[in-house]
Amino acid sequence: MKRKFGDALRLRSFGVVALGFERLVSEAEK
């Protein structure tokens, strides 16, 4: 259970990083 929670947390943090990177790229293209 704890391991699954850690995986979900890592996946979420990766999603946040990907979202921020995507926003950064879209800002650079303007």
**pLDDT tens digit string along 1-30?**
788 988 999 999 999 999 999 999 999 987
Q: Which amino acid is located at 6 in the chain?
A: G
Domain ranges of the chain: 1-29
User: Tokens 């704890």 appear where?
Assistant: 2
Give the C-alpha distances (Å, rounded to integers) separating 11 from 17, 18, 27, 28. 10, 10, 24, 26
The pTM assigned to this predicted structure is: 0.55
DSSP string, 1-30: -HHHHHHHHHHHHHHHHHHHHHHHHHHHH-
Give the C-alpha distances (Å, rounded to integers) separating 20 from 1, 8, 25. 29, 18, 9
Per-residue pLDDT at 2: 81
Per-residue pLDDT at 26: 94
Per-residue pLDDT at 25: 94
